[in-house]
Amino acid sequence: MMFPFLKTAIHNAFTKPSTEAFPCPEGEGLGHYRGRIFFNPESCVDCGMCIRVCSPAAITVEREEVEGGVNITRTFDLTSCTFCATCEDFCEEGSIKMTTDYHMVGTKHEDLIVSGTTFKKKVLGNLVCDQDNCIYCGLCARNCPQNAITVDRTTKTWTVDHEKCVKCGICIGKCPKKVLKFEEPKEEGVVFDAEKCVYCTLCAKKCPVGAIEVDRATKTWTINRENCIKCGACVKGCPKQALSMGPIED
Amino acid sequence: MFNKLINDSAAKSPWLYHINSGSCNGCDIELVACLTPRYDAERFGFKLAGTPRHADIVVVSGPITSQSRERLIRTLAQVPEPKCVVSLGSCPKSGNVFKGSYSVEAPLDNYCHVDVSVAGCTPKPEAIMEGLYKAALILKEKREAMHK
């Protein structure tokens, strides 16, 4: 053959250049590339597992006390991240996702930050009345927007329907003798059922703060309530449903 | 007139100088991949320069080890104004997984002003191209401000 390159030359004359276009067309040839982090603060339960597993310490958390709860802001610093996706793997709630967005170019530090704020509501206990000092004036019942309180002056009874009560606190402000208050809520936490437990130690392994200790030899299960952050990882990880979230009984 | 000709031409072809300050080589091979015909950063006039004295844009990769810190500062000082510093990957901006080590002196912001930072570990060549293109625009602005 006289011109062995002729076939290739003609073929190349009619094909697109092999050079990639700039800017790159969206979503082409990205495959499993791990790019910008997506964080959904709505489903985050603030268990802190992502911070614990992050090797370059790229995740920080800030807490701000506001009315009725706490604002928890989680910040992912992309200039510090190794994009190993360990946080995504360990997130029980699936709040962290690695996207294929590689456009992580910035002139300022703020361009390369991903953050989200979770609002954690402070739980109030049931409304209670100190009936020794109550004068049964009925002001609380009259001002209740849900008609949850009933006061009977003749029989000297004060009752509240906990189903109806929305814990707005209006009655507390109206009470002339200041005898109404919300009782301290019974502390919520992990409840252990010794009958179902097989002492497999999975809960201790799942716990992000290492608050649970299980001894297979002596069949004991102990939890450090001070360290527990009530994330629910142990409850989900228990194969025997021996753990649940609920009011703690001492 | 002669100066204007030089300035206009220089704006169309920013020369790169690449400093590896203890990088794992991941970012370095991606930067080189950027200059290959597949991604072709040379279409914007980018060209790797052999010495910092010829460079317009300095690309720094790596977490700045103690050994390379002095050399990095000396090299950056040799680059003539106007210059533009690009940090490549997570390492120069924060130290990445090496932060807190006795031999790592990141971030780069302590030693010079970083104009453009490209995040990723490693960044894709497309992202590096975007960063370099942004750096070229910043360089053009700096050059215009200098010759006003």
How high is the pLDDT of residue B59?
Answer: 94
The total number of structural domains that make up chain B: 1
| Cβ neighbours of A77 in B, within 8 Å | 94
| A174 against A1, higher pLDDT | A174
Pairing assessment for the beta strands A127-129 and A180-182 based on DSSP bridges: antiparallel
Nearest 5°: phi and psi at B134?
-65, -40
Examine the pLDDT at B148 and tell me if it is beyond 90.
no
How high is the pLDDT of residue A28?
Answer: 60
Q: What is the mean pLDDT of residues B13-23?
A: 92
Examine the pLDDT at A163 and tell me if it is beyond 90.
no
Average pLDDT, chain A: 84
Average pLDDT, chain B: 90
Examine the pLDDT at B3 and tell me if it is beyond 90.
no
| Cβ neighbours of A112 in B, within 8 Å | 93, 117, 119
Side chain identity at residue B147, one-letter code: H
Examine the pLDDT at B142 and tell me if it is beyond 70.
yes
Examine the pLDDT at A186 and tell me if it is beyond 80.
no
Report chain B residues touching chain A, CB-CB < 8 A.
37-40, 43, 90, 93-97, 99, 115-121, 123-127, 129-131, 133-134, 138
- Domain of residue B54 covers 2-146
Q: What is the DSSP letter of A213?
A: E
Examine the pLDDT at B60 and tell me if it is beyond 90.
yes
Candidates 3.40.47.10, 3.30.70.20, 3.40.630.10, 3.30.110.30; correct CATH number of A188-247? 3.30.70.20
Whether the domain at A127-182 and the domain at A188-247 fall into the same CATH topology? yes
User: How does residue A226 score in pLDDT terms, banded at 50, 70 and 90?
Assistant: confident
Say if residue A23 is preceded by a cis peptide, omega within 30 of 0. Answer: yes
Tell me which of A114-118, B16-20, B73-77 is least confident. Answer: A114-118
Ranges of each domain in chain A = 32-121, 127-182, 188-247
- For domain A127-182, say whether CATH 3.40.50.10320 is its number: no
Q: What is the mean pLDDT of residues A181-200?
A: 82
Q: What is the mean pLDDT of residues B118-147?
A: 89
Examine the pLDDT at A159 and tell me if it is beyond 90.
no
Examine the pLDDT at B12 and tell me if it is beyond 90.
no
If we measure between CA atoms, which residue out of A190, A207, A204, A205 comes closest to residue A242?
Answer: A190
| Cβ neighbours of A22 in B, within 8 Å | 43, 126, 129, 133
User: How does residue A175 score in pLDDT terms, banded at 50, 70 and 90?
Assistant: confident
Predicted TM-score (pTM) of the model is: 0.74
Count interface pairs A-B at CB distance under 8 A: 86
Candidates 3.40.50.1580, 3.40.1130.10, 3.40.50.2000, 3.30.70.3270; correct CATH number of A32-121? 3.30.70.3270
| Cβ neighbours of B119 in A, within 8 Å | 78-79, 81, 104-106, 112
For residue A110, what are its two tokens? 């703020």
Q: What is the mean pLDDT of residues B34-42?
A: 88
Q: What is the mean pLDDT of residues A187-214?
A: 85
Which of B59, B117, B134, B142 is the best residue to mutate to test the A interface, defined by the most A CB atoms within 10 Å of its own CB?
B117
If we measure between CA atoms, which residue out of A182, A180, A181 comes closest to residue A135?
Answer: A180
For residue B76, what are its two tokens? 């950056």
Separation in Å, CA of A58 to nearest CA in chain B: 8
Examine the pLDDT at A161 and tell me if it is beyond 70.
yes
* For A36, nearest residue in chain B (alpha carbons): B120
How high is the pLDDT of residue B16?
Answer: 92
| Cβ neighbours of A20 in B, within 8 Å | 38-40, 125-126
| A74 against A127, higher pLDDT | A74
Examine the pLDDT at A68 and tell me if it is beyond 80.
no
How high is the pLDDT of residue A219?
Answer: 87
Q: What is the mean pLDDT of residues A154-174?
A: 82
Side chain identity at residue A111, one-letter code: D
Pairing assessment for the beta strands B116-118 and B84-88 based on DSSP bridges: parallel
B90 and A105 within 8 Å at the Cβ level: the answer is: no
A20 and B40 within 8 Å at the Cβ level: the answer is: yes
To the nearest 10°, report the CA torsion of A237, A241, A243, A245.
90
Side chain identity at residue B69, one-letter code: R
With pLDDT > 90 as the criterion, what percentage of chain B qualifies? Answer: 52
How high is the pLDDT of residue B18?
Answer: 93
| B131 against A17, higher pLDDT | B131
Q: What is the mean pLDDT of residues B48-59?
A: 92
How high is the pLDDT of residue B77?
Answer: 93
B126 and A112 within 8 Å at the Cβ level: the answer is: no
User: How does residue A29 score in pLDDT terms, banded at 50, 70 and 90?
Assistant: low
- Tell me the DSSP string of A43-93: T-----HHHHH-TT--EEEEEEEETTEEEEEEEEETTT-----HHHHH-TT
Q: Domain of B56: which CATH number?
A: 3.40.50.12280
Separation in Å, CA of B71 to nearest CA in chain A: 23
| Interatomic CA distance for residues B43 and B79, integer angstroms | 23
Q: What is the mean pLDDT of residues B107-132?
A: 90
